[in-house]
Amino acid sequence: MELIHSGINISAINKVSCKQCQTRKSCLMAEFDEGEANNAECFVTHEKPMGKGQHLFLQGDKFQSLYLIRSGSFKSSITDETGERQVTGFHFSNDILGIDGIEPGRHIREVEALETSSVCTLPFQLFKEVSLRSNKSLYEKLICNVSSMMFKTSHLMMTLTKMKAEQRLASFLLDISQSMYERRQSPHEFKLPMARYDIANYLGLAVETVSRLFKRLEDQKLIVAQRHRVHIVDMDGLHRIAAGVYLDSKMICSEINYRQIR
Amino acid sequence: MELIHSGINISAINKVSCKQCQTRKSCLMAEFDEGEANNAECFVTHEKPMGKGQHLFLQGDKFQSLYLIRSGSFKSSITDETGERQVTGFHFSNDILGIDGIEPGRHIREVEALETSSVCTLPFQLFKEVSLRSNKSLYEKLICNVSSMMFKTSHLMMTLTKMKAEQRLASFLLDISQSMYERRQSPHEFKLPMARYDIANYLGLAVETVSRLFKRLEDQKLIVAQRHRVHIVDMDGLHRIAAGVYLDSKMICSEINYRQIR
DNA sequence: CGCAGGCTTGACGCCGATCAAAGGCGGTGG
DNA sequence: CCACCGCCTTTGATCGGCGTCAAGCCTGCG
């Protein structure tokens, strides 16, 4: 949990300048012109990646930086006064973490690595200064990011209130699939870096239910799932489930499925 | 609900400059210095308030302005591909509406007046220009607003996934109560401008359930509710319900309720 | 090799959705 | 001003999805 502060040059051995960053083209900073890019060197990378289970920050930590995921994956969660925890999202490369801490000055959720992962740290004070100097408003980009985050959240809320359990899981798998696609990885076969327990919490279901649902989707020949490896066999079918297309014809669908099974 | 007019320019009859606005002190624009305030005259107010049921904007409408609620109340909702609607929030004076439309360039939800209401319109292009000229970054304020919005959403998500129906309604009433308090109105007695139907949708419940729950809270002597008028009698008790403090002693509570009913 | 923690599977019961119908309020027109 | 109508709300009865409890299984790690 060692955070690097704005000592610009001294600890350069732990840093990689943005100019040299391999993933720069897909980065928030990508459109910076060369002049500004020098400033961007201040956006550092932790040389040593974080291990599974390590926290990027905890709920209540002072907010001072934004983080850009370079590799790996994270889960974010909130704990309320009663100690109840709610997983609020899963995050992959190029996602920005920590934005929600800007206003209260403290992080309102914790973020934990689901596997070996690395991030870029963007000290927010510096970020603000650079964005004021720059014509191309970084702030605007940030808002864009925030905006799409709000969209995702709304989508999730919809999932949680309007969908039956099976729809939620189907929808969840499709979301992950979409994420993989956007990152130029296979949308049909991927690894779920999070535990069943996290999925259940995220979807507002019991672990046992999630487990049963994975099986049910397999029985319907929509996916093949073994542990964390998921193979989507029938993408359309999964979409149909997610959309709740079996509501009236439930009996019929079930019959078909049973026929398919044997 | 009479607005004060100014004789500043030709179209002034439809507008009120920010300088003259009665609610300016609690406004997003409040910290503007005098020089900037002149620009702020471009932030117009609809002279004719909106009527109940009127839409401020629809989902998919081109995003061009932010709106600041001067009076009244609104509900926001999202409709997905399948036509399913989800109420995403209720909004009162000083709330900002429309932020979520910035990135996609279109509004991702619709906003509808729950009663006679009025708003200030903040053309976003202008907003950006002013914020670039200004040292005190308006953008920063906007982000603050967005940030607190995200916090609320997270809170709501928690409510929807982790709470039983009774907790959700108690929590909802407490949220409204808090809103009233923040607006210097009584947190103990207020009017709910939205229909039961909207509350149910918002909380992810059936209308019938909401209706029954209102009654159950009354039976427990926590509130007095008649139609849209709500009186919170036992704030602590309501907090206890919201926190789920009866989980272990559920049987006892139920017995008490049954005894009270007959 | 054995243990711990995560995952699966089964049995059961409750919460809340759904269906059905009656009651009340507000708006509109006679 | 009253009467009617439609929509919102309440109330009752029934049913099923999913949470809960309990046990057994798998897998990775020490």
- Cβ contacts of A181 within 8 Å, gap of 6 or more: A187
Q: Which residue of B has its CA nearest to A83?
A: B243
Q: Does B82 touch chain A (CB under 8 A)?
A: yes
Q: Is the CB of A207 under 7 A from strand C?
A: yes
Interface of B with A in 115-154 (CB under 8 A): 128, 132, 137, 139-140, 142-151, 153-154
Dist CA B62 CA B56 (whole Å) = 12
Q: Does A97 touch chain B (CB under 8 A)?
A: no
Report which secondary-structure segment, H or E, holds B190: strand B189-191
Question: With contact defined as beta carbons under 8 Å apart, do A232 and A189 qualify?
Answer: yes
For B198-213, write each residue's pLDDT tens digit.
999 999 999 999 999 9
Summarize the confidence of residues B107-112 as an average pLDDT: 92
Report the distance from CA of residue B33 to the C1' of nucleotide D20 in Å, as an integer. Answer: 60
Closest CB to A151: pick one of B108, B144, B201. Answer: B108
Task: Using the predicted structure, report yes or no on whether residue B138 has a pLDDT greater than 90.
Answer: no
Taking the whole predicted model, whether its pTM rises above 0.85 is answered as no
Question: With contact defined as beta carbons under 8 Å apart, do A103 and A63 qualify?
Answer: no
Report the distance from CA of residue B20 to the C1' of nucleotide D25 in Å, as an integer. Answer: 73
For residue A92, what pLDDT band results from cuts at 50, 70 and 90?
Answer: very high
DSSP 8-state code for residue A4: P
For residue A136, what pLDDT band results from cuts at 50, 70 and 90?
Answer: low
Closest CB to A109: pick one of B128, B154, B162. Answer: B154
For residue B224, what pLDDT band results from cuts at 50, 70 and 90?
Answer: very high
Output the pLDDT for position A151.
80
Q: Does B80 touch chain A (CB under 8 A)?
A: yes
Contact call for A146 and B146, based on CB within 8 A: yes
Q: How far is A256 from chain B (nearest CA, A)?
A: 23
For A232-258, write each residue's pLDDT tens digit.
999 999 999 998 875 444 333 333 333
Report the distance from CA of residue A142 to the C1' of nucleotide C28 in Å, as an integer. Answer: 52
State the nucleotide closest to B218 in CA–C1' terms. D10
Closest CB to A86: pick one of B109, B151, B158. Answer: B158
Q: Which nucleotides of C are covered by protein (CB under 7 A)?
A: 6-11, 15-20, 25
Closest CB to B88: pick one of A80, A103, A157. Answer: A157
Q: What is the DSSP string of A76-130?
A: EEEE-TT--EEEEEEE-TT-EE-GGGTTTSB-SSEEEESSSBEEEEEEHHHHHHH
Q: What is the DSSP string of B112-133?
A: EESSSBEEEEEEHHHHHHHHHH
Mean pLDDT rounded to a whole number for chain B: 79
Q: Does B243 touch chain A (CB under 8 A)?
A: yes
Summarize the confidence of residues A42-51 as an average pLDDT: 72
Min mean pLDDT across A56-65, A79-88, A127-136, A182-191 is at A127-136
Q: How far is B131 from chain A (nearest CA, A)?
A: 10
The closest of B43, B205, B190 to B119, measured between CA atoms, is B43
